[in-house]
Amino acid sequence: MGTGTGLGRVRGLGSAKKGAHHWWMQRLTATGNLLLVSWFIISLIRLPNLSHAIVTDWLSSPLVAVAAIVLVANVFWHLRLGLQVVLEDYVHNEASKLGLIVLLNFYAIGAAAVAIFSIAKIAFGSAA
Amino acid sequence: MSRNHSRPLSPHLSHWKWGANMLVSILHRMAGVGLATVGGLVLAGWFFAAASGEETYACFIGLLTVESGAINIVGAVLGIGLTWAFFTHLFNGLRHFVMDAGAGYELQTNRRSAIAVVAGGIVVTLVLWGWLLWPVITGLVGGEG
């Protein structure tokens, strides 16, 4: 391993085969969001109202609960990738960038976990 | 990566003549950041409130509605703002899928698709909320007449 330029150190090693992964996951989750969020908006509009009884009854159906869980996972995965690019583009201080990306991951995974657990609690709790 | 401060940066926004494609690129990011932060918190908060029982759910809905159950100003700003952000981001996302395939880069086509994205986001938001708030709108007009 030479001690020359960055290019000199990696030349000849070949691709890490990971270059397009972020881009691909962003497109994949974008397609998922297109279907899942559209389904979610149409479903909410079609409910008679958004009272607690109506909403929990709707979410306790297995198909709806599974779709809602996949929706949450997909939405938070997509926003984690998107906000990461925004931070990388606009935060130029390395320490701030690292700190903010850590916070972003805590937010995305934490909020998604809360939402998924909530859906599961509603779905399992109201087996009448 | 550290940058060489003696080298110039790409010009800032104030140096470019604004075009539709530039506007839509910035709106896409702004809408995305809004959906990711405000939208994400509202979505997770709504599921959490629903799972926490009737009282917590009533508190959550109470932040967005008046006593009669009609939407309040916070609910309207959040609802209309997130709807606009979602459809603008979605339409520009579709535009990006076309550009990912290598199409739509001709100057005229690119400009037209950018204008269509901005217009589409506004039109769908107006139609959807006009329909949702139709009783309120007609009620206001009726009340004045």
Q: For B71-106, how does the pLDDT look when each residue is reduced to its tens digit (9 = 90+)?
A: 999 999 999 999 999 999 999 999 999 999 999 999
- Within 8 A of B57 by CB-CB distance, chain A residues are 52, 55
Give A58's contacts (C-beta < 8 A, 6+ positions apart): A43, A47, A64
Higher pLDDT, B41 or B142: B41
pLDDT band at B110 (very low <50, low <70, confident <90, very high): very high
pLDDT of residue A40: 97
Rounded CA-CA distance B119/B90 in Å is 13
- Contact assignment for A115 to B93 by CB distance below 8 Å: no
Each residue's pLDDT tens digit, A88-113: 999 999 999 999 999 999 999 999 99
Rounded CA-CA distance A119/B95 in Å is 33
Rounded CA-CA distance B65/A78 in Å is 30
What is the second-level CATH architecture of the domain B20-137? Up-down Bundle (1.20)
pLDDT of residue A32 exceeding 70, the answer is yes
Residue A79: which of B35, B47, B97 has the nearest Cβ? B35
Rounded CA-CA distance B138/A40 in Å is 28
pLDDT of residue A128 exceeding 50, the answer is no
pLDDT of residue B28 exceeding 80, the answer is yes
Nearest residue of chain A to residue B3 (CA atoms): A92
Helix B73-100 crosses helix B54-64 at what angle (to 10 degrees)? 80
Nearest residue of chain A to residue B90 (CA atoms): A34
Q: What is the average pLDDT value for chain A, to the nearest integer?
A: 93
B38 secondary structure, DSSP code: I
- Contact assignment for B48 to A115 by CB distance below 8 Å: yes
Mean pLDDT of A13-40: 93
Question: For residues B128 and A41, is the Cβ–Cβ distance under 8 A?
Answer: no
pLDDT of residue A73: 98
A35 forms beta bridges with none
Higher pLDDT, A73 or A4: A73
pLDDT band at A33 (very low <50, low <70, confident <90, very high): very high
Residue B50: which of A55, A94, A107 has the nearest Cβ? A55
pLDDT of residue B144 exceeding 70, the answer is no
pLDDT of residue A2: 57
- Report phi then psi at B102, rounded to 5: 95, 5
Q: Alpha carbon of B55 to those of A53, A86, A93, B51: distances in Å?
A: 12, 38, 45, 10
Nearest residue of chain B to residue A65 (CA atoms): B47
pLDDT of residue B63: 95
- Contact assignment for B32 to A111 by CB distance below 8 Å: no
- Within 8 A of A34 by CB-CB distance, chain B residues are 90, 93-94
Question: For residues B74 and B64, is the Cβ–Cβ distance under 8 A?
Answer: yes
Closest CA to B29 of A98, A89, A105: A89
- Contact assignment for A72 to B44 by CB distance below 8 Å: yes
- Contact assignment for A119 to B58 by CB distance below 8 Å: no
Residue A111: which of B29, B44, B61 has the nearest Cβ? B44
Residue A118: which of B33, B47, B94 has the nearest Cβ? B47
Question: For residues B113 and B98, is the Cβ–Cβ distance under 8 A?
Answer: yes
Name residue, tokens 């990711």.
Answer: B36
pLDDT band at B126 (very low <50, low <70, confident <90, very high): very high
